[in-house]
Amino acid sequence: MNFASDNTAGAPPEIIDAIVRANSGTDSSYGADQASRRLTRKFSDFFGTDVTVFPVATGTAANALALASITPRHGVVFCHQGAHIHVDECGAPEFYTSAKLVPVPSPDGKVTLSGLRDAARHFHRGDVHHAQPASISLSQSTELGTVYATSDVSAISAFARAEQLAVHMDGARFSNALVSLGCTPADVTWKAGVDVLSFGATKNGALGAEAVIFFDSAHVGDFSYMRKRAGHLFSKMRFVSAQLEAMLDGDLWRRLATHANSMATRLEAGLGAIPGVTLAQPVQANEVFFTVPNHTARRALLDRGAKFLLWSPPADEIPLIRLVCSFATPAEDVDRFVGCVREVL
For the chain, the residue count is 345
Nearest-approach distance from CB 150 to its own copies, in angstroms: 28
Does 173 participate in binding its own copies (rule CB under 8 A)? no
* Contacts with its own copies, 92-111, as mask; x by CB under 8 A: x-xx--xxxxxx--------
Q: 139 or 150, CB closer to its own copies?
A: 139
Task: Please identify, among the stretches 58-66, 141-149, 252-260, 269-277, the one whose residues bind its own copies according to the rule CB under 8 A.
Answer: 58-66
DSSP string covering 136-170 = EEEESS-TTS----HHHHHHHHHHHHHTT-EEEEE
Say how far apart CA 198 and CA 138 lie, in whole Å: 10
Q: Check: CB of residue 320 under 8 Å from CB of residue 311.
A: yes
Task: Please identify, among the stretches 55-63, 162-170, 268-276, 282-290, the one whose residues bind its own copies according to the rule CB under 8 A.
Answer: 55-63
Exactly one of 51, 57, 165, 321 binds its own copies (CB under 8 A); that residue is: 57
Report helix, strand or coil for 100. strand
DSSP string covering 15-35 = HHHHHHHH-SS---STT-SHH
CB-CB neighbours of 29 under 10 Å: 14
Ranges of H-type helices in 48-91: 59-70, 84-87
Exactly one of 39, 70, 177, 328 binds its own copies (CB under 8 A); that residue is: 328
Does 59 participate in binding its own copies (rule CB under 8 A)? yes
Does 132 participate in binding its own copies (rule CB under 8 A)? yes
Single out the residue of 311, 264, 298, 262 nearest to residue 82, CA to CA: 311
Nearest-approach distance from CB 124 to its own copies, in angstroms: 9
Single out the residue of 130, 129, 126 nearest to residue 102, CA to CA: 130
Exactly one of 14, 48, 87, 220 binds its own copies (CB under 8 A); that residue is: 87
Q: Which of residues 242-271 bind its own copies (CB under 8 A)?
A: none
Q: 9 or 340, CB closer to its own copies?
A: 9
Nearest-approach distance from CB 136 to its own copies, in angstroms: 17
Q: 328 or 341, CB closer to its own copies?
A: 328
Q: For residue 139, how far is the Cα from the chain centroid? A: 6
Q: Which of residues 110-129 bind its own copies (CB under 8 A)?
A: 121-123, 128-129
Exactly one of 45, 50, 88, 303 binds its own copies (CB under 8 A); that residue is: 88
The dihedral sign for the CA sequence 177, 324, 4, 315: positive
Nearest-approach distance from CB 57 to its own copies, in angstroms: 6
Task: Please identify, among the stretches 148-156, 182-190, 229-237, 335-343, the one whose residues bind its own copies according to the rule CB under 8 A.
Answer: 229-237
Say how far apart CA 325 and CA 323 lie, in whole Å: 7
Ranges of H-type helices in the chain: 13-22, 34-47, 59-70, 84-87, 92-97, 113-120, 150-162, 174-181, 223-229, 238-248, 252-272, 295-303, 331-344
Task: Please identify, among the stretches 139-147, 217-225, 286-294, 336-344, the one whose residues bind its own copies according to the rule CB under 8 A.
Answer: 217-225
Does 233 participate in binding its own copies (rule CB under 8 A)? yes
Does 208 participate in binding its own copies (rule CB under 8 A)? yes
Does 61 participate in binding its own copies (rule CB under 8 A)? yes
The torsion angle over the Cα atoms of residues 58, 61, 67 and 72, rounded to 10 degrees, is 180
Q: What's the DSSP call for residue 191? A: G
Tell me how many residues contact its own copies (CB under 8 A): 84
Nearest-approach distance from CB 97 to its own copies, in angstroms: 9
Q: Which of residues 7-46 bind its own copies (CB under 8 A)?
A: 7-11, 16, 19-20, 22-30
